[in-house]
């Protein structure tokens, strides 16, 4: 998802990680400003979303240079992959599709990315930000359960252990889930669903909460006191020292005492939103499963279905705006009053 981990990426690039740049994305751009931004950056709001595949920008490529690993290379989509992308866009909630038509400049695919995807702001200093989504091309060949399991396992060291963790989410394309998550970051930055956040700039230690973060988060990466856990705080995806897998059951037992829908969603309020929307849409609208399973020597010893948790389901009403026609007049001009 967006993090590389985000502690590193945020210092290199203005990326969407929940919230938007104060005073810019939250301002109300005029119709003329929106039209000028679209013209300047070559965005046709009437073009099909799947037609916006472009080469990754030099800014994004330069960011990967700083990692001092092999440089990612451009991936050209095959015809089946193009159809896969079109299906992933078509599966998005209505509000996602409307906002992306106005805000998504491009989607890029790279071979050899060290993370799954990132969403970057094209013009962070302008009143109507546009966005690029960059995705690791390898996920085009994975189903969602394969990819989610692979990602989840980066948190744990299972060497020499009979334990294994899996995410069972069906067999649909991983791309559909990844695009849903990343597109939600764009909605967040465009509509202010989580509090404003500007990488590299000082910000209040406790910005005013939004409806989504109130009583759940104290700060961007600090949950409210009832939902903090010293072991879970050490979780790192992709990078950092993994926890011994014999701590996995305690980690997930802690997770099910929170309103977070996934372990990844418990790491920041931006990813909390992106994961909640993704898992909610995945299970409720696409009718797919989402289960966290811990096995010992192949035998299930722990299982958790977040969308059956009363704490998690207590936030479902906040998903209604993503499917409401009432949002149509707000997607490209101002923060919506419904969030």
Q: What is the pLDDT of residues 22-73, one digit of tens each?
A: 334 445 788 888 999 999 999 999 999 999 999 999 989 988 887 778 899 9
State the Cα–Cα distance between residues 300 and 286, nearest whole angstrom: 26
CA distances in angstroms from 59 to 39, 132, 303, 313, 326, listed in the order given: 20, 11, 42, 39, 36
Structure-token pair, residue 328: 């149509």
- Indicate if the pLDDT at residue 167 is higher than 70: yes
**pTM surpassing 0.85?**
yes
Alpha-carbon gap, residue 109 to 139, rounded angstroms = 10
CA 47 centroid distance within chain: 24
Q: Look at residue 294 and tell me whether its pLDDT is greater than 80.
A: yes
- Which run of H or of E encompasses 277? helix 269-280
Pairing of strands 291-296, 163-168: antiparallel
Q: Check if the beta carbon of residue 279 is closer than 8 Å to that of residue 318.
A: no
Q: Between the CA of residue 216 and those of 226, 254, 279, 319, what are the distances in Å?
A: 8, 15, 18, 16
Mean pLDDT score of the chain: 87
Cβ-based neighbour number of residue 228 at 10 Å: 14
Name the phi and psi angles at 238, rounded to 5.
70, -50
Task: Name the least confident of 64-78, 178-192, 198-212.
Answer: 198-212
Q: How confident is the model at residue 133 (pLDDT cuts 50, 70, 90)?
A: very high
Would you place residue 292 in the very low, low, confident or very high pLDDT band (cuts 50, 70, 90)?
very high
* Percentage of residues in the chain having pLDDT higher than 70: 85
Please give the Cα distance from 285 to 42 (Å, whole number).
33
What tokens appear for 66 in the block?
């700083």
Question: What's the rounded mean pLDDT across residues 149-172?
Answer: 96
Q: Which of 291, 305, 293 is nearest to 248 (CA)?
A: 293
> What average pLDDT does the segment 97-113 reach?
97
Q: How far is CA 26 from CA 41, 105, 214, 269, in A?
A: 20, 19, 19, 17
Query: What mean pLDDT is predicted for residues 301-307?
Result: 98
Contact yes or no for 179/92 (Cβ under 8 A): yes
Residue 212 has pLDDT above 90, yes or no: yes
Average pLDDT for 280-306: 98
């Amino acid at each position: 998802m967006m993090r590389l981990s985000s502690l590193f990426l945020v210092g290199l690039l203005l990326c969407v990680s929940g919230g938007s740049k104060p005073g810019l994305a939250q301002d109300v751009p005029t119709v003329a400003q929106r039209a000028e931004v679209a013209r300047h950056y070559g965005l046709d709001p009437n073009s099909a979303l799947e037609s916006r595949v472009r080469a990754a920008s030099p800014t994004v490529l330069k960011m990967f240079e700083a990692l001092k690993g092999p440089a990612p290379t451009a991936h050209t989509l095959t015809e089946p992959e193009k159809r896969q992308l079109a299906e992933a866009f078509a599966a998005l909630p209505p509000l996602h599709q409307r906002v992306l038509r106005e805000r998504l400049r491009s989607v890029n695919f790279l071979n050899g990315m060290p993370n799954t995807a990132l969403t970057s702001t094209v013009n962070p200093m302008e009143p109507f930000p546009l966005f690029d989504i960059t995705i690791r091309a390898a996920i085009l060949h994975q189903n969602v359960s394969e990819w989610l399991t692979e990602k989840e396992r980066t948190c744990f060291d299972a060497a020499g252990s009979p334990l294994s963790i899996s995410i069972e989410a069906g067999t649909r394309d991983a791309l559909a889930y990844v695009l849903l998550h990343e597109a939600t970051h764009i909605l967040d930055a465009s509509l202010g669903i989580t509090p404003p956040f500007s990488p590299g700039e000082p910000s209040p230690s406790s910005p005013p909460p939004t409806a989504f973060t109130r009583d759940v988060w104290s700060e961007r990466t600090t949950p409210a006191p009832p939902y903090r856990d010293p072991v879970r705080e050490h979780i790192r995806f992709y990078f950092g020292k993994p926890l011994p897998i014999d701590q996995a059951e305690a980690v997930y037992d802690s997770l099910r005492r929170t309103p977070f829908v996934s372990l990844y969603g418990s790491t920041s309020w931006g990813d909390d939103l992106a994961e909640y929307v993704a898992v909610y849409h995945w299970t409720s609208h696409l009718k797919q499963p989402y289960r966290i399973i811990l096995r010992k020597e192949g035998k299930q010893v722990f299982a958790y279905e977040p969308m059956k948790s009363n704490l998690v389901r207590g936030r479902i009403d906040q998903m209604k705006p993503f499917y409401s026609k009432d949002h149509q007049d707000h997607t490209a001009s101002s923060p919506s009053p419904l969030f």
